[in-house]
């Protein structure tokens, strides 16, 4: 799942430490570091409360009012900071994906994705993809299950999940395109076929089946994904089994 998803029209920038959002096109003067820290702390408290509410009650049964009460802020502050409940869920996804930082950078701009794209050796590239997968899925698996349950009962959540899936596919396509451009992709595969394979093997559902249902360890999953991707996507002389993840 990707990080840069927004199924709704962007809202004006909101600062929980101020009275109202900025009108489009307006410019603010100097904002003190103290006010900025307070706004960041407020967002963090709201996201912490949302995580607990979503985990305990699910997305559909969670109310913004309950999130506000647990965070110790007003309902108006929650709406000012995040807008709607789906925006709050998306904000929590961004933070979880980033490992606890309130960072909404696209996946392509994150260091772990750049490391995979910039790797020259194809076996090393797919080894990095597998390492990224194990790391990110350990972070996001619980929230991904909340989103899946929400999508089954809420149209807006279903739209969010569908867009996340499309962006995840696009990220897999960028990896395959790079292999193809370098002449490292297996010649019997088209770019579309190879992207479909990577999308399926690297998918959250595959991780959940193997790690959560079949009780594989994350290290076992990473090793399996490394060797399977190398075998399925690369020419035999590009497979580097001596450097499998352990």
Do 76 and 90 lie in one domain? The reply is yes
Which has the closest alpha carbon to 240: 132, 126, 131, 113?
126
CA distance 54 to 50: 6
- Indicate the DSSP class of residue 213: I
Do 143 and 231 lie in one domain? The reply is yes
Domain-terminating residue out of 53, 70, 105: 105
pTM (predicted TM-score): 0.82
Q: What proportion of the chain, given as a percentage, has pLDDT over 70? A: 84
CA distance 68 to 47: 10
Q: What does the pLDDT average to over 225-235?
A: 97
Q: Domain containing 60: what range?
A: 1-105
Do 114 and 230 lie in one domain? The reply is yes
Do 156 and 79 lie in one domain? The reply is no
Residue 9 pLDDT class (50, 70, 90 cuts)? very low
* The pLDDT value given to residue 102: 82
CATH number at residue 220: 1.10.357.10
- Chain segment 40-77, per-residue pLDDT in tens: 999 999 999 999 999 999 999 999 999 999 999 999 99
Do 134 and 218 lie in one domain? The reply is yes
Contact 186, 230 (CB under 8 A): no
Q: What does the pLDDT average to over 132-150?
A: 97
> How many structural domains is the chain composed of?
2
- Chain segment 147-196, per-residue pLDDT in tens: 999 999 999 999 999 999 999 999 999 999 999 999 999 999 999 999 99
Contact 51, 142 (CB under 8 A): no
pLDDT of 119 over the 90 cut: yes
């Amino acid at each position: 799942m990707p990080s840069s998803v927004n199924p709704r029209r962007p809202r004006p920038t909101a600062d929980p430490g101020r009275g109202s959002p900025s009108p489009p096109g307006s410019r603010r003067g100097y904002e003190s570091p103290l006010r900025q820290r307070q706004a960041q702390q407020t967002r963090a408290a709201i996201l912490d409360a949302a995580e607990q509410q979503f985990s305990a009650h699910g997305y559909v049964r969670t109310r913004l009012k309950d999130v506000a009460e647990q965070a110790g802020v007003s309902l108006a502050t929650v709406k000012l900071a995040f807008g709607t409940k789906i925006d709050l869920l998306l904000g929590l996804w961004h933070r979880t994906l980033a490992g606890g930082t309130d960072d909404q950078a696209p996946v392509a701009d994150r260091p772990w994705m750049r490391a995979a794209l910039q790797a020259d050796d194809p076996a090393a590239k797919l080894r990095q993809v597998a390492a990224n997968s194990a790391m990110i899925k350990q972070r996001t698996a619980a929230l991904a299950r909340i989103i899946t349950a929400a999508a089954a009962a809420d149209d807006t959540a279903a739209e969010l999940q569908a867009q996340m899936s499309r962006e995840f596919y696009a990220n897999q396509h960028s990896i395959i395109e790079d292999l193809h451009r370098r002449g490292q992709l297996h010649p019997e595969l088209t770019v579309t076929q190879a992207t479909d394979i990577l999308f399926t093997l690297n998918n959250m559902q595959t991780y959940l089946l193997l790690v959560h249902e079949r009780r594989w360890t994350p290290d076992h999953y990473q090793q399996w994904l490394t060797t399977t991707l190398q075998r399925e996507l690369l020419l035999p002389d590009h497979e580097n089994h001596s450097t499998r993840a352990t």
